[in-house]
Amino acid sequence: MQLTDFLEPIGASVFQHDSNTHPLMLGTFVRANTEEKGFPELSNTDLAIFGVKEDRNAPGNEGCALAPDYIRKHLYSLFQGAFDTRIADLGNVSAGDRVSDTYFAVRTIIAQLLEQGITPVILGGSQDITYASYQAYESLGQIINIVSTDSRFDIGLNKDESLSHRNYLSKILTHKPNYLFNYANIGYQTYFVDQDALELMDKLYFDAFRLGEVRQQMEEVEPIVRNADLLSFDVSSIRQSDAPGCGLASPNGFYGEEACQIVRYAGLSDKLSSIGFYETNPAYDKGEQTSHLVAQMVWYFIDGFYHRKNDYPDKHIKDSRAFIKYVVSIRDFQNKINFYKSKKSNRWWMEVPCPPNLQRKYLRQFLIPCSYKDYQEACQNEIPEKWWQVYQKFV
């Protein structure tokens, strides 16, 4: 199937420019699917933006399907920045006859973009669309890591619930065959999470980071996000005063600038290959404040993307010209931990011993992004938590 089978053109008003429009605004550089210009050519494209007008599985936040064009209006009025963009806007996926039809369209679009080496940027719509994004990787046979910025885990109450934006993660966990290697939540709020869910995270060796913990050390978010293939951002994780446009908004959460910092880290990650922004609801928004904030978040992701260092460790990691290798022995522990520091970006990774028969399957999993803090912990005879969790999955 062709991408044009699933996507409708963007309304002309989103790209309407008057005589006062500055020629360096981002909207003048984006090749967009409009009725006037038609579907854009995808050769020479790095990023592909598309909206998903779906909210039927979003109880409590109906109306978020209208968000994509509101976000676009503010995004394309921002300036391009110190980078040359190669961005296409593919238009919108309209809600299908059934929600499963919408998921199928999203899955197909993302899979085709990934096969072409293009990074999808999804403007939702509700966060259950993350399930369709996961299915795109499954269709390509790729084992992935998911990071979600969310005040909740979205596991749901029981396995018999129909898919929604509040239980999509449990559907991913129970999906067979399973292509999820690791899940990390950034910014959960304890009063929104039951203890059984926290115990499940521990049992599965997944990562969960409380809002207060994250906000105290925002720089430690970078290696968490750098380990993701897919980032799903729920706007309800931002405090209501900064992002009122969501039916599930809460008084507490990230500040707007912290949300922008998180997605810029995502843009900088050589590994991350898709991102989605979900749950913005114009019906609750004040002066389109939330749509404007999400537009700025997308801008920061684009900025990070065009400042990537392309130093992800691969088969050349032992090349001393690119990395400095540190070997740490930990008392009473039989394994030494190898750390690698990039000379280009000063970013750190650590290596987890992987059984030879699993190395091909988990080629992108046993080198874990970390920070200098993790190296310091190892030097003090403490096994870094990130290292231990992945080690347990292998053994």
pTM for this structure? 0.95
Q: How far is residue 114's CA from residue 120's CA, in Å, rounded to a whole number?
A: 8
Q: What is the pLDDT of residue 315?
A: 56
The answer to whether the bond into 125 is cis (omega within 30° of 0) is: yes
Domain boundaries, the chain: 3-305, 323-394
Instruction: List the beta bridge partners of residue 195.
Output: none
**What is the fold, at CATH topology level, of the domain defined by 3-305?**
Arginase; Chain A (3.40.800)
- The 10s digit of each residue's pLDDT in 246-266 is 999 999 999 999 999 999 999
Please check whether residue 95 is in contact with residue 102, taking contact to mean a CB–CB distance below 8 angstroms.
Answer: yes
Instruction: List the beta bridge partners of residue 144.
Output: 180
Instruction: List the beta bridge partners of residue 254.
Output: 238
Q: What is the pLDDT of residue 78?
A: 94
Question: Which two three-digit tokens encode residue 318?
Answer: 């032992």
Q: What is the pLDDT of residue 136?
A: 97
Neighbours of 323 (CB within 10 A): 20
- Please list the ranges in the chain whose pLDDT falls under 50: none
Q: Which helix (H) or strand (E) holds 119?
A: strand 119-124
Q: Which helix (H) or strand (E) holds 349?
A: strand 348-351
